[in-house]
Amino acid sequence: MADPARARKLAKRISQIVASAIEHDVKDPRLGAVTITDARVTADLHDATVYYTVLGESLEAAPDFASAAAALEAARGVLRTKVGQGTGVRYTPTLTFVADSIPDDARRIEELLAKAREADAEVARRATGASPAGEADPYKPPRTAEDDEEPAEEETRG
């Protein structure tokens, strides 16, 4: 069992090596829009999961995850060789590529926040000019010394 700090360092180094290899060494045009976001290494340092995201050609164009995944699978051997050369560990970890869901999650959170802002604006719009449903001052006024005095009782004779 390896040290968790060593596994984190190795994961960080693997993500750097894979990103650099995709940019400079692998000559596949399908990988032009691929960005490595993170890497995780198992505790025994034998398996590495590399997370990636794909950018679209433009802001309106949808990214092509299928061709990027196929290109990464095709380049897996070359990338593993580069990782082995760059890390110097006894056993080069196997690489698994997983599409990162963080951009989609972030987009969904932004949509939810926009809906919440719209709902808050609607509540604020309805609250303008509204009056309280009850009395103007619903709280009891503080007691004074006069309230503490007992009223004089009238005597009735009869």
Convert the pLDDT of each residue in 60-116 to its tens digit. 777 788 888 999 999 999 999 999 999 988 899 999 999 988 878 888 999 999 999
Structure tokens at 149: 């005095």
Structure tokens at 140: 């009891």
3-state secondary structure of 96: strand
Higher pLDDT among residues 4 and 145, named by residue: 4
Instruction: Put the strands of the sheet holding 34-41 in their side by side order.
Output: 34-41, 47-54, 94-99
| Residue 158 scores a pLDDT above 60 | no
pLDDT of amino acid 153: 59
The DSSP output letter for 155 is: P
Convert the pLDDT of each residue in 1-40 to its tens digit. 668 888 899 999 999 999 999 999 888 888 888 989 999 9
Residue 138: band (very low, low, confident or very high) from pLDDT cuts 50, 70, 90: confident
